[in-house]
Structure 1
Amino acid sequence: MDTSRPTRRQWSGWPARHPWLTTLALAVVALLVLVLLWDWNWFKGPLERQVEAGTGREFDIGGDLDVDLGWTPVVRGEDLSFGNADWSDEPTMAAARHAGIAIELLPLLRGQVRIPRIDLDHPVLRLETRPEGGGNWQFGDSDGDSDVEFRRLVVNRGQLRFLDAANDTDIKVGLHSAPATEGPSSLIAVDGAGRWEGSDFTAQGTAESPLGLADPDTPYRIDLRAQAGRTRAHATGTLLDPLRLADFDLQLELSGQNLEDLYPLLGLALPPTPPYSVEGRLTRDIEGPLTTWHYDGFSGQVGDSDLGGDVAITTGGERPMFRGDLHSDHLDFDDLAGFVGAAPDAGNGDTTNPELAAQAREEAVEATVLPDTPYKLEKLRSMDADVRLRAATIEAPSLPLNDMDAHLKLEGGLLRLDPLDFGVAGGNIRSTIRMDARQDTIATTADINARGLDISSLLPEVELAQNAVGKAAGDARLSGTGNSIAAILGSSDGEVVIGMGHGRISNLLMEMAGIDLAEIIKFKLTEDRMIPVRCAFGDFEVTRGVMNTRSFAFDTTDTILIGEGTIDLGEERLDLVIKPRPKDRSLLSLRSPLLVDGTFKQPDLRPDLGRVGLRAAIALTLGSIAPPAALLGTLELGPGEDAGCGGKYAE
């Protein structure tokens, strides 16, 4: 056997005789060299340029780029940063200390991109709006659609910042993957703080992986609690395409100290109220340029009143539009005080808040009654409204109110209440009120009609009037200018007419009105009786806030009361004289005019002591001559005649 080495001639013919073996050998050598020298960082530049071409933003991989090979390779990058929109003052929109992206290879063969997992370490994301609309999350002409399917995101110590400088909003939110969240439904824990519309803001809760934002057709679930100033919200449910706010289906609990606080937060011009808490379903519709938020089937409390119904807020027009169909089974009338610039009663366990309680204390020591808190013109002009409120029962200890039906319309600063309808004392008071706040001073007109008011119910605190029988009615037409209720009434012109038809009233009450001592003693020792009322009538002309009597009479079969004088709505003063004219004879009568004076807050009803004193002095003088003659000083011969009142108020 020849074991000698091949000669040079023999080696020189090897490649020619075995070309495929030579190629294989070279390939193996090249592969070994490639493996030994391979660096994934060679692809950093092409990858950065590809991202920049697709988004128009700078993309930088500051650290190493590496790939774990397999059927689902994982691409890892260090110190990544993504550029911001060119209009922002901050150059970086997003950054991460480390990112790992897994990509499934088999779907790639079918033209699908499926990313089962993304890991982010210390990511930072900055979202901000621009004054013209939109935000830095919009890239060039992209419509936001994507063929990429994401599955799960894991975040370690992330931070999101949302800026809306035009609305004084700056919120920082910490993000961290909740423990034991495997699969596509992984949750992100949220904990944030900052400012929302100028108010201190906090938020806590959980949300699905932000990767869910990429698919506009997949519901994005949230469970978040937030607080802005004194307003608190708890939202649970789903969002569709939330970056573009396409659709919502949330159960929203809203509570706070005052509904007026929603004006700086949401632009809703609501009146001051006691603390409130409501819960309902929040959804959203978009039609052209108009976006409508629906808060349906809500229920809850405002102060000591229950409140429920449906509301809708439409934006995108000239002004926000607020529509509501509201109802209350039990309405505490105090809770509506903010509509007229007053504060609800802070005593007797009534629900209130610190500022309304302070306002109530100030009002309690003021000499006036009519609310003088000015309406805020900018609020009346800031939105439009169409709201209906119906109350089945009303709690108003000092007023005989039964129920209410109010329809409010507000358009460009013109407010109308048509109707403002109250069930009162078994009857009805229906009003139409128009307030024009389009100028610096509000011009107001009011047309008020009262019918079928039960006399005994109107005077529940007067014991002698509790058995009275009769119905009262009236009309008032007033117009005035001013930016508060007090100013409007204090400048008003118009007329007020009230009347009562046939009825019955306590005879003792009428005798006391005329200080008929003999009759008072008789009814005190025996028994009071009811006497017929023929009619009653009051006709006032109102000029520059002063009500002047044109005629005033209360006519019974026993006595007729004739009144005259003024009621000053501006100064809140009473100056009336009521003169009794008896229709019977009495031996112990000190009949004299009754004076009604004082202020609205402290009215005074008393006899004219000068006239009483004169008649008493005459009686004493005559008594010193001959005791029986003293009766002549108190003898009333009954000059009263029936009053001629009637018409529709006497029916």
Structure 2
Amino acid sequence: MTARARTLITRIAVGVAVTLLVLILLLAMMPWGMFKERAERALADQFDAPVTIGSIERASRFSFNPMLDIRDLRIAQPSWAGKGAMVQVDHVAVRLPVLPILIGRIRPEPVAATNGRLVLIRAKDGRKNWDRRPERRSGGGGGLDALTVRNLTLDYRDALKDRRAVLRVDSDDDGFRASGRGRLAEEPIQLAIRGAPIAGGARWPFGAALIGTTTRIVAQGAMAAPLDTRDMAFDLRARGNDLLDIDRVIEAGLFGTQPVALTGRVSRKGDVWRVERLSGTVGRSRLSNAVATVDKGTERTRIDGTLRLAVLDFEDLANDRGLAIAAAKRAAAGPRIVPATRIDLKNLDDVDGVLKVKVDRLVSRHNEPFRKISGTLTLDRSRLTVDPFEVGMVRGVLGGRVVVDQRAGKAKPTLTLDLKLDGTTIGTLAGGGEIDATLRGMARLTGSGETVREAVGRSSGRVALVSGSGRIPSKLASFLGLDVGRGVFADKDAVATLRCLIVRMDVKNGTARMNPLLIDTSRSQSRFSGTIDLASERLALSMMGSPKKDSILRLTKPVPIGGTVKAPVPRVPGEKTNVGGVLKMIGDAIAGDRPPLATDADCKGLAARAMG
């Protein structure tokens, strides 16, 4: 490089340095008041509402972090939020670091605010007057080095969650204070927030309390820096007549329940929330040491966790109104086996995650055979898989895999059940009774619907139940063989042998056809044909029975069976119930006009076919 070139480069470098130095000095001495109109336009664009500023003045002549005094700041409400001002403050002091302006970053830091009112509004459709970008998934502020507030009123109105609060906010050397009154729906509440003085970036301890007539939420913890809600951890205690009361505050998308009392540890790092040591009661159900992580850093929220309950009563997962609605539906529909549990996933279409659930003891106000439950729930883009899934019973286990698929924007989810029943008894499923025999079974069904009952009522697939040998009252065994004589005169305490119960149902579009339904005992054999409407659980069956020994009084025509699975109704042919019918049975016996007697069924072969 020549001397002339080196000289040219040196002059250019010196020129750039001098220009940069002059620019920095100009920024350090800039009369920022001349930018008042530009500041008004920028704020108006940000909040989509008119903005006026009385004046902007420098508090110092030369500084790289000048203090600006802003007087009479007023930001009107956006047109959809009504009339009046969203922000109206007599005086705001702002520190403006000038060096970041050189790279295009303008970061004013509020230092003080005096005599003001903020009216924050959220509409029923979710719009917020303080945020023009509702697509942003999380808020929270960065820490403040220092902030002094005197006589600031915060008026919060939320139509979406039906809540309201008016707080007086002050912050000085004695600490940060905010307190006032409001309501959650119709419940009056008192609010109080306390914190250390806002000075410096040190960890900032705080406490908050919401106290109502039935709802009580108390938090105690610390933020990484003053008012930095994106980096904080706190202990939480919450109580309410309903989990919905608490959800009005925390907005986690919870549901109605019986009264709740919960404690836990909550932390946040950016868009990731974590709940630990969550314990307490919901009604008489007891939650112990649950853990969950909620990541809202992307378009899809992800929830992973472990949920452990020492005791669970499913009726605790509905409030009194929900229980009343469910009771009315049960009364209208009658006793049912298949539950009306909702499986619609539309409200979870932007949620993924894995949740492990274990219930040590299931309790119920009804005589239910189920005693514990466990499963791993995996939600992936509107497809919920419960695998493994296991329900422990008084005796035996029901388990397998359950899939609820509502991908591709389907109006109703598709339910797929692949379940096996093992190690239980007929008496366990029936809630007692005089029949004692082991029982195993399986169900493979697929159908669509908003509830389990609706989906099963439209399903196709196969269901099977197979018993081992056991005991059955002799009277009942005889009647199953349509042996009226032995059924009437048998000793009420006599016991026969149940050789097997074989049920195979081929299901298509919600109609289950018997293929076969057979009951084989030491006294008789019964075969059932016909269908069950799984949507209504109504029976349309016909039973044909045969004794295994000669009988004088014997029905020879099929017996129709109606009613429901829970309450079957046999209808004995009318001509056999009068004197003439009885005399005819006796005459048929004397004349030898009788169908053949039953022989032992191939229980092992039939069971293998049903379960195969």
Among all aligned residue pairs of Structure 1 and Structure 2, give the percentage whose two residues are the same amino acid: 23
Give the aligned residue type for 1:557: S
Report the alpha carbon displacement of residue 608 of structure 1 after superposing the two structures with TM. Answer: 2.1
Q: Residue 223 of structure 1 aligns with which residue? A: 208
Structure 1, residues 369-416: CA drift from partner, whole Å, max 9, x if none? 466687555303132232222111212433211211122222221111
Structure with larger Rg: 1
SS, match of residue 456 in structure 1: helix
Report the alpha carbon displacement of residue 51 of structure 1 after superposing the two structures with TM. Answer: 13
Give the aligned residue type for 1:294: R
2:190 alignment partner, one of 175, 184, 204: 204
TM-score, normalised via structure 2 length: 0.71
Give the aligned residue type for 2:423: G
Is the alpha carbon distance of 1:91 and 1:307 closer, same or farther for their aligned partners in structure 2, counting shifts above 3 Å? closer
Q: Distance in 2 between matches of 1:648 and 1:324?
A: 45
Report the alpha carbon displacement of residue 633 of structure 1 after superposing the two structures with TM. Answer: 8.9
1:285 aligns with 2:269: yes
Structure 1, residues 426-462: CA drift from partner, whole Å, max 9, x if none? 1111131212112223222211111111223223342
- 1:545-556 equivalences under 5 Å are 545-556=510-521
Give the aligned residue type for 1:490: G
Is the alpha carbon distance of 1:134 and 1:640 closer, same or farther for their aligned partners in structure 2, counting shifts above 3 Å? closer
Q: Residue 251 of structure 1 aligns with which residue? A: 235
- 1:596-611 equivalences under 5 Å are 596-599=561-564, 603-610=567-574
Q: Residue 499 of structure 1 aligns with which residue? A: 466
1:94 aligns with 2:89: yes
8 Å Cα contact 1:269-1:382 kept in structure 2: no
1:456 aligns with 2:414: no
SS, match of residue 426 in structure 1: coil
Report the alpha carbon displacement of residue 268 of structure 1 after superposing the two structures with TM. Answer: 4.0
Q: Residue 381 of structure 1 aligns with which residue? A: 349
SS, match of residue 399 in structure 1: coil
Moved more, 237-246 or 585-594: 585-594
Structure 1, residues 221-265: CA drift from partner, whole Å, max 9, x if none? 1131167x9975332333333533232222223344555677786
Report the alpha carbon displacement of residue 327 of structure 1 after superposing the two structures with TM. Answer: 1.4
SS, match of residue 509 in structure 1: helix
Q: Residue 295 of structure 2 aligns with which residue? A: 314
1:534 aligns with 2:506: no
8 Å Cα contact 1:514-1:591 kept in structure 2: no
- 1:363-374 equivalences under 5 Å are 363-366=330-333, 369=336
Give the aligned residue type for 1:430: G
8 Å Cα contact 1:591-1:612 kept in structure 2: no
8 Å Cα contact 1:207-1:224 kept in structure 2: yes
Structure 1, residues 542-567: CA drift from partner, whole Å, max 9, x if none? 11110011112121222222111100
Is the alpha carbon distance of 1:236 and 1:264 closer, same or farther for their aligned partners in structure 2, counting shifts above 3 Å? closer
Report the alpha carbon displacement of residue 473 of structure 1 after superposing the two structures with TM. Answer: 1.0
8 Å Cα contact 1:443-1:481 kept in structure 2: yes
SS, match of residue 620 in structure 1: helix
Q: How many residues align?
A: 523
8 Å Cα contact 1:385-1:410 kept in structure 2: yes
Structure 1, residues 566-595: CA drift from partner, whole Å, max 9, x if none? 001134321112222211234455576443
1:583 aligns with 2:548: yes
Q: Distance in 2 between matches of 1:264 and 1:319?
A: 22
Q: Residue 37 of structure 1 aligns with which residue? A: none
1:612 aligns with 2:607: no
SS, match of residue 278 in structure 1: strand
Structure 1, residues 145-174: CA drift from partner, whole Å, max 9, x if none? 64x6x8xx785x541245899999875312
Is the alpha carbon distance of 1:567 and 1:215 closer, same or farther for their aligned partners in structure 2, counting shifts above 3 Å? farther
Q: Residue 442 of structure 1 aligns with which residue? A: 413
Is the alpha carbon distance of 1:211 and 1:649 closer, same or farther for their aligned partners in structure 2, counting shifts above 3 Å? farther
1:562 alignment partner, one of 527, 541, 552: 527
- 1:321-332 equivalences under 5 Å are 321-332=302-313
- 1:187-198 equivalences under 5 Å are 188-193=177-182
8 Å Cα contact 2:418-2:443 kept in structure 1: yes
8 Å Cα contact 1:514-1:593 kept in structure 2: no
Report the alpha carbon displacement of residue 218 of structure 1 after superposing the two structures with TM. Answer: 2.5
2:386 alignment partner, one of 403, 407, 417: 417
Is the alpha carbon distance of 1:391 and 1:411 closer, same or farther for their aligned partners in structure 2, counting shifts above 3 Å? same
Is the alpha carbon distance of 1:649 and 1:516 closer, same or farther for their aligned partners in structure 2, counting shifts above 3 Å? closer
Give the aligned residue type for 2:420: N
Is the alpha carbon distance of 1:167 and 1:317 closer, same or farther for their aligned partners in structure 2, counting shifts above 3 Å? farther
Report the alpha carbon displacement of residue 541 of structure 1 after superposing the two structures with TM. Answer: 0.8
Is the alpha carbon distance of 1:48 and 1:593 closer, same or farther for their aligned partners in structure 2, counting shifts above 3 Å? farther
8 Å Cα contact 1:280-1:299 kept in structure 2: yes
Give the aligned residue type for 1:583: K
SS, match of residue 600 in structure 2: coil
8 Å Cα contact 1:538-1:551 kept in structure 2: yes
8 Å Cα contact 2:138-2:296 kept in structure 1: no
Q: Distance in 1 between matches of 2:285 and 2:139?
A: 45
SS, match of residue 461 in structure 2: strand
Structure 1, residues 115-152: CA drift from partner, whole Å, max 9, x if none? xxx999755457773233599998xxxx7664x6x8xx
Q: Distance in 2 between matches of 1:605 and 1:137?
A: 64
Q: Residue 484 of structure 1 aligns with which residue? A: 451
Q: Residue 130 of structure 1 aligns with which residue? A: 131
Q: Distance in 2 between matches of 1:271 and 1:131?
A: 29
Q: Distance in 2 between matches of 1:270 and 1:633?
A: 74
8 Å Cα contact 2:404-2:416 kept in structure 1: yes
Is the alpha carbon distance of 1:637 and 1:575 closer, same or farther for their aligned partners in structure 2, counting shifts above 3 Å? closer
Q: Distance in 1 between matches of 2:564 and 2:525?
A: 26
Structure 1, residues 449-491: CA drift from partner, whole Å, max 9, x if none? 11111223223342x23xx2x3211111111123333432222
SS, match of residue 535 in structure 1: strand
Question: Is there any run of 5+ residues in structure 2 with no aligned partner, and where?
Answer: 1-28, 41-51, 60-68, 80-84, 94-110, 121-128
Report the alpha carbon displacement of residue 315 of structure 1 after superposing the two structures with TM. Answer: 0.7
Q: Distance in 1 between matches of 2:203 and 2:140?
A: 19
Structure 1, residues 608-643: CA drift from partner, whole Å, max 9, x if none? 2336337x52443688xxxxx797499988701111
C-alpha RMSD over aligned residues = 4.7
Is the alpha carbon distance of 1:475 and 1:371 closer, same or farther for their aligned partners in structure 2, counting shifts above 3 Å? closer
8 Å Cα contact 2:202-2:224 kept in structure 1: yes
Moved more, 233-242 or 121-130: 121-130
1:233 aligns with 2:229: no
SS, match of residue 362 in structure 2: strand
8 Å Cα contact 1:240-1:248 kept in structure 2: yes
Report the alpha carbon displacement of residue 359 of structure 1 after superposing the two structures with TM. Answer: 4.1
Give the aligned residue type for 2:207: I
Question: Is there any run of 5+ residues in structure 1 with no aligned partner, and where?
Answer: 1-45, 66-78, 100-117, 178-182, 337-343, 345-351, 624-628
Is the alpha carbon distance of 1:592 and 1:278 closer, same or farther for their aligned partners in structure 2, counting shifts above 3 Å? farther
Q: Distance in 2 between matches of 1:131 and 1:119?
A: 25
Q: Residue 597 of structure 2 aligns with which residue? A: 639
